[in-house]
Structure 1
Amino acid sequence: MFDPDDLAKIRAAKREWEEETLEPTIERFGERKETFTTDTSGPELDRVYTPDDVADLDYDADLGLPGAEPYTRGVYPTMHRGRLWTMRQYAGMGTARETNERFRYLIDQGSSGLSMAFDLPTQKGYDSDAGMAAGEVGKAGVAIDSLRDMEVVFDGIPLDEVSTSMTINAPAAVLLAMYVAIGDQQGVDRDKLRGTIQNDILKEYIARNLYIYPPEPSMRLITDIFEFCAEEVPNFNTISISGYHIREAGSTAAQEIAFTLADGIAYVEAALDAGLAVDDFAPQLSFFFNAHNNVLEEVAKFRAARRLWAGIMDERFGADNPKSKQLKFHAQTGGSTLTAQQVENNVVRVAYQAMAAVLGGAQSLHTNGKDEALSLPTEESVRTALRTQQILAHESGVADTIDPLGGSYAVESLTDEIEAEARDLLEEIDDRGGMRPAVESGWVKRQIQDVAFERQREIEAGERVVVGVNKYQVDEEPEADIEAVDPEDERRQQERLRAVKDERDDEAVEAALSDIRAAAAGEENLLPPIVEAVKAYATVGEISDVLREEFGEYRPAV
């Protein structure tokens, strides 16, 4: 891309600058520290970047144009000039009614997509009256026991007018079935349903531990969802392959995209092994990344991920459909970067992280509330978080030019470095037999834990500044307005569950559960019988228990 003679002149000029200008300045004034790295101890940053740092850049092969391979500059030709990213705000209050009220409020405030959080019992496949659910009902999100709860959540919300993202993994098939059932009740054609289900079980074994079944049957559930949606719900993203929680657990940016794409490879391989054609399901794959603090590193990370995935789908899997090669992703600002100290500082952190996601070409975005280090976000903090996105969209100008940092010597160099590090990790995973063996052996988790330990050591030693935590502290904190869950919600939810069980047709429920058991024992796709079961008001716990009996429960190796 650059003339060799011009590069030689640039190198010579830089050497002269270093000797005559830089060194005397450093001798007199010094620099703030000996080395500078990115947000997560990633690549060491050069003092200044020049064309020499990107001398090997091939514009067509490495960058191209938006909407064209290798998609480094974006997956769509017009990106945010054509359509702004979907503005989601994570919501899931203690009860279905409260969640419905929050959803309606967000729509009224201009949110263009809903994002649904579930409580821990729902995420683990337990009903609210289960012993394992005690004390956790409605705490981390909304409690969903049966289709009746989903009816309340989406009361007055037409599913053909909203896009809904559901953060659910082990029981993802059950919650997707409920969403399809609500659409059927509303008379919405299934091909009009839009949204995303997280459905990423491999990262649960790595980072979050909210799994139920062993990896093999879990992968079967995922591929059954791929097949069902390709035929029945073609505009619903069947999986959100998540690097977000990997980064929250402490990974570097390169580890985040490497382990996420390795999970993606494993899901594609599982679907192919199940007899699906790559171009039938790959266009419905989506990704979920973290937007962390270092703006340049995050922009480079998103660009590197797109380029890597396009190459993987082309070279490894022979995808022909361009949509199969396009890495479409949702981003959420970094929950682990939020501090309980001086919570107002989190507004600033979230704004810069959101800007990095927009500059990096996100398709949808969630911005955290400033108080989420303390509790569920209040209505006021949710509104501020949404306004942050709206100001970025309409006032900042960052959405008006596609890939505006493209061509920056620093960003292009960082993109190459992060991609190269991620490629090395992907090769090591291949050498270990693929992502499933790498996960089951504990190797992936150890890589993340090593980085997390070193980062915490740096913070405690004061080598890494966290404003308000280890520097610029204040003596007193103002009392925060914290959103609280009513302790009576658990009892009331259990009463609603009993009412559903009293009113439903028990014979229809037993017949539907028997059909699920038969499908699980055989090779039939599990989604159709699960849809019929939820329509009969079988509960999340009852369906999950049938699958527990057939598949067993996962116990990690010590």
Structure 2
Amino acid sequence: MKFTTTSGIEIKEVYTEPSGMNELPGEFPFTRGIQKDMYRGRPWTMRQYAGFSTAEESNKRYHYLLSQGTMGLSVAFDLPTQIGYDSDNAMAEGEVGKVGVAIDSLKDIEVLFDGIQLKDITTSMTINATAPILLAMYIALAKKQGADLRQLSGTVQNDILKEYAARGTYIYPPGPSMRLITDVFEYCSREVPKWNTISISGYHIREAGSTAVQELAFTLANGKAYLQAAMEKGLDINVFAKRLSFFFNCHNNFFEEIAKFRAARRMWANITKQLGATDPGAQKLRFHTQTGGSTLTAQQPMNNIVRVTTQALAAVLGGTQSLHTNGYDEALSLPTEAAAKTALRTQQIIAFESGATDTVDPLAGSYFIESLTDELEKAAYLYIDKIDAMGGAVKAIEQDYIQQEIARSAYEYQSEIENGDRVIVGVNKFTETEKPVGNVFRVDDSIRITQSEKLKALKAGRNNKAVEEALGKLKDAAGGKENLVPHILTAVEAYATLGEIADTLRSVFGEY
């Protein structure tokens, strides 16, 4: 019988040759970790992803998570917010507040973070096509709270290429979308220098069905495209590359995932160096990890606690900078409060009880891990070289290459499950008859009425002339070449809605 990883890399029965690797953590090419002392210095950020219904409801969940020991917030936005529609738009029907929180204006952001000082926390926002608008709202609130913008820290996902390839929440064509991303790079490097301006995401590529090798290759190819776009805009790679971060999936194959993270650091260090980065800070791949949502099963959902635990441990042994652990009930619904707490406790037990954090890169020198790291790197470079030959990630996406490769891998993986070649406990082996699960978390459709009423009141009470003026200036700027973030911020501060701002840009850029 042949043993392979999920990417098809053959696993030998035994590994007998050392790799000859003698580098240290915190040193180029950072295979063993980006910090010399890693978790002995400080633990990773335990950042639980949350957001649903209205800003009021999500605010309650944030206060709950902070009280339970979460170290950073991670905001989930609903689908209309992600694709630039206000809650009262006909396109938003049935989706308001469902997969995240509904945000229509600065008013909602004020409520979302009520009682939370932005200067005291780091916030990650999973938002892409409308990233400049949500970032502007966050900055506007920080200004109202009197925070020093130069000290404000957090991350905005802002990764549109993987939306075209794997996820689908894009609005504008690739050209204008890349402009908005580099505008955020430029603005933040000047005004909010501690903010991570992009989280280049392999997570969604993996959730769409890619292998670990494809996740690694396509994510780094996208990262390379962002570096090149920013450099073409005249930005210094040694400055802006320090504010790039990555977002990876942690799937079921324990050792492959650890090797993937180690290979990613080494590859990124070499890619940035080839493009001219000389500052070690600009060569380091810093990343957030989320356990694999697509690995969770609705059958025997308590099994998911074990899956999440092994995935979280792999992320820690792989050297992640921050981590979200999924709730065991996420194959059924949004996580209940109990599931969210269990997920957080999983991280805390690994951090404080397991001993996994006591030494840096504890698996270094393992013949298996070192060999697997090399194999993943080699296989990923085959993809990257092919993408480079096409003209880069944007061209590869436009030619449907990346999408087709992901679809092929997803089909193969599902076929293996269905014909029994790959065992999923409780799904195709060790199954049992189960009663329907009762305690699931549902968001009521009446949220849309609540949000629509709030919008009506907002428009009646704001200075509509100021809104009109701000949107007019934004439209003019979009037709030219100046940075759009200051214009978006002005519109946000006048209480223009997310949909009004997105529509203004649609009128110039069109839709993809």
Which amino acid is 2:360 matched to? Answer: I
Partner of 1:372: 330
- Determine the C-alpha separation between the residues in 2 that align with 1:304 and 1:136: 39
Partner of 1:341: 299
Describe how 1:19-418 pairs up with structure 2 within 5 A. 34-38=1-5, 40-51=6-17, 54=18, 57-60=19-22, 64-315=23-274, 317-418=275-376
Gaps of 5+ in 2: none
Describe how 1:395-474 pairs up with structure 2 within 5 A. 395-474=353-432
- Determine the C-alpha separation between the residues in 1 that align with 2:29 and 2:12: 26
Residue 42 of structure 1, CA deviation:
2.5
- Determine the C-alpha separation between the residues in 1 that align with 2:434 and 2:183: 54
Q: Deviations over 1:319-339 (max 9, x none)?
A: 011111000000000000000
Any idea what SS the aligned residue of 2:448 has?
helix
Q: Deviations over 1:114-155 (max 9, x none)?
A: 000000000000000111001100011000000000000000
Q: Deviations over 1:74-117 (max 9, x none)?
A: 00111111010000111111110011000000000000000000
- Determine the C-alpha separation between the residues in 2 that align with 1:457 and 1:290: 21
From 488, 497, 505, give the equivalent of 2:455.
497
Q: Which structure's CA Rg is the greater one?
A: 1
Residue 490 of structure 1, CA deviation:
1.2
| Aligned pairs, number | 512
Residue 366 of structure 1, CA deviation:
0.3
Q: Deviations over 1:363-407 (max 9, x none)?
A: 000000001111110000000000000000000011111100011
Any idea what SS the aligned residue of 1:44 has?
coil
Residue 479 of structure 1, CA deviation:
2.4
Q: Give the conservation status (yes or no) of the 8 Å contact 1:42–1:253.
A: no
From 507, 511, 521, give the equivalent of 2:465.
507
Residue 69 of structure 1, CA deviation:
0.4
Percent of aligned pairs sharing the same letter: 61
Any idea what SS the aligned residue of 1:302 has?
helix
Any idea what SS the aligned residue of 2:123 has?
strand
Q: Give the CA RMSD over aligned residues.
A: 0.8
Residue 497 of structure 1, CA deviation:
1.1
Residue 245 of structure 1, CA deviation:
0.4
Q: Give the conservation status (yes or no) of the 8 Å contact 2:21–2:365.
A: no
* TM norm structure 1: 0.91
Q: Deviations over 1:436-493 (max 9, x none)?
A: 1100110101111111111111100011000000001111235241111122111111
Q: Give the conservation status (yes or no) of the 8 Å contact 1:342–1:477.
A: no
- Determine the C-alpha separation between the residues in 1 that align with 2:337 and 2:393: 40
Which amino acid is 1:259 matched to? Answer: F
Residue 58 of structure 1, CA deviation:
4.3
- Determine the C-alpha separation between the residues in 1 that align with 2:60 and 2:455: 20
Any idea what SS the aligned residue of 1:37 has?
coil
* Of 208-217 and 479-488, the range deviating more from structure 2: 479-488
Q: Give the conservation status (yes or no) of the 8 Å contact 1:331–1:357.
A: yes
Any idea what SS the aligned residue of 2:73 has?
strand
- Determine the C-alpha separation between the residues in 1 that align with 2:387 and 2:482: 31
- Determine the C-alpha separation between the residues in 1 that align with 2:369 and 2:433: 39
Which segments of structure 1 move beyond 3 Å, counting only runs of 4 or more? none
Any idea what SS the aligned residue of 2:124 has?
strand
Q: Deviations over 1:233-284 (max 9, x none)?
A: 1111000000000001111111101100000000011011111111121000
Q: Give the conservation status (yes or no) of the 8 Å contact 1:198–1:239.
A: yes
- Determine the C-alpha separation between the residues in 2 that align with 1:217 and 1:199: 13
Any idea what SS the aligned residue of 2:216 has?
helix
- Determine the C-alpha separation between the residues in 2 that align with 1:352 and 1:428: 33
Any idea what SS the aligned residue of 2:499 has?
helix
- Determine the C-alpha separation between the residues in 1 that align with 2:445 and 2:355: 45
* TM norm structure 2: 0.99
Q: Give the conservation status (yes or no) of the 8 Å contact 1:100–1:153.
A: yes
Q: Deviations over 1:131-185 (max 9, x none)?
A: 1001100011000000000000000000011110000000000000000001001
Which amino acid is 1:66 matched to? Answer: P
Describe how 1:472-487 pairs up with structure 2 within 5 A. 472-477=430-435, 479-487=437-445
Q: Give the conservation status (yes or no) of the 8 Å contact 1:113–1:163.
A: yes
Q: Give the conservation status (yes or no) of the 8 Å contact 1:254–1:421.
A: yes
Partner of 2:502: 544
* Structure 1 residues 279 and 144: CA distance shift in structure 2, 3 A: same
Any idea what SS the aligned residue of 2:88 has?
coil
- Determine the C-alpha separation between the residues in 2 that align with 1:290 and 1:217: 28
- Determine the C-alpha separation between the residues in 2 that align with 1:58 and 1:530: 52
Residue 36 of structure 1, CA deviation:
1.1
- Determine the C-alpha separation between the residues in 2 that align with 1:489 and 1:463: 44
- Determine the C-alpha separation between the residues in 1 that align with 2:437 and 2:197: 42
Which amino acid is 1:354 matched to? Answer: A
* Structure 1 residues 437 and 506: CA distance shift in structure 2, 3 A: same
- Determine the C-alpha separation between the residues in 1 that align with 2:412 and 2:438: 31
- Determine the C-alpha separation between the residues in 2 that align with 1:86 and 1:131: 39
Q: Give the conservation status (yes or no) of the 8 Å contact 2:96–2:445.
A: no
Which amino acid is 1:104 matched to? Answer: H
Any idea what SS the aligned residue of 2:119 has?
coil
Q: Give the conservation status (yes or no) of the 8 Å contact 2:81–2:102.
A: yes
Any idea what SS the aligned residue of 1:105 has?
helix
Q: Give the conservation status (yes or no) of the 8 Å contact 2:7–2:213.
A: no
Q: Give the conservation status (yes or no) of the 8 Å contact 1:41–1:455.
A: no
Q: Deviations over 1:43-66 (max 9, x none)?
A: 011111111xx4xx3424xxx111
